[in-house]
A = this chain, B = another copy of it.
Amino acid sequence: MTPDDLKFDAHGLIPAVVQDADTGEVLTLAYMNRESLQLTLGSGETWFWSRSRQALWHKGATSGNVQRVHEIRTDCDGDALLVRVRPAGPACHTGERSCFHRLLDLP
């Protein structure tokens, strides 16, 4: 499977689940466009497309908490990525290790 086989959505984006390759913890859900995927593949560190800022985003560029890519997996449809990484620090800007640190109240 190569990047050319992937399906990007109407906005040119593909969702990327980012997982700690060692602990299995899911760190964040972010989005890549073709350019950020190429930058990720070329550099070995995660690059995303920030939908709020409408800009390329090198994870950890300011915080130092870069994510080294261990492997990238895709699903049957080729319309989602699982990016397994070794993070240099917390994924969340709040300092939490994972962005998914809030529990939803179950009935």
A15 to B92, CA, bound (A): 18
Whether, in the assembled complex, A81 has its beta carbon less than 8 Å from a beta carbon of chain B, the answer is yes
Q: Could you say which residues of chain B place their CB within 8 Å of the CB of A81?
A: 104
Residues in A76-103 with C-beta less than 8 Å from chain B: 76, 78, 80-82, 92-94, 99-103
A29 to B18, CA, bound (A): 12
CB <8 Å contact, A104 and B72: yes
Whether, in the assembled complex, A26 has its beta carbon less than 8 Å from a beta carbon of chain B, the answer is yes
A2 to B107, CA, bound (A): 10
The 22 listed contacts between A and B (C-beta, < 8 Å) are: A1-B103, A2-B105, A3-B104, A15-B29, A17-B17, A24-B24, A24-B25, A26-B82, A28-B75, A29-B75, A71-B104, A71-B106, A72-B103, A73-B100, A73-B101, A75-B99, A75-B100, A75-B101, A76-B92, A78-B102, A80-B99, A80-B100
Residues of chain A having any CB pair with chain B under 8 Å:
1-3, 6, 15, 17, 19, 23-26, 28-29, 41-42, 69, 71-76, 78, 80-82, 92-94, 99-107
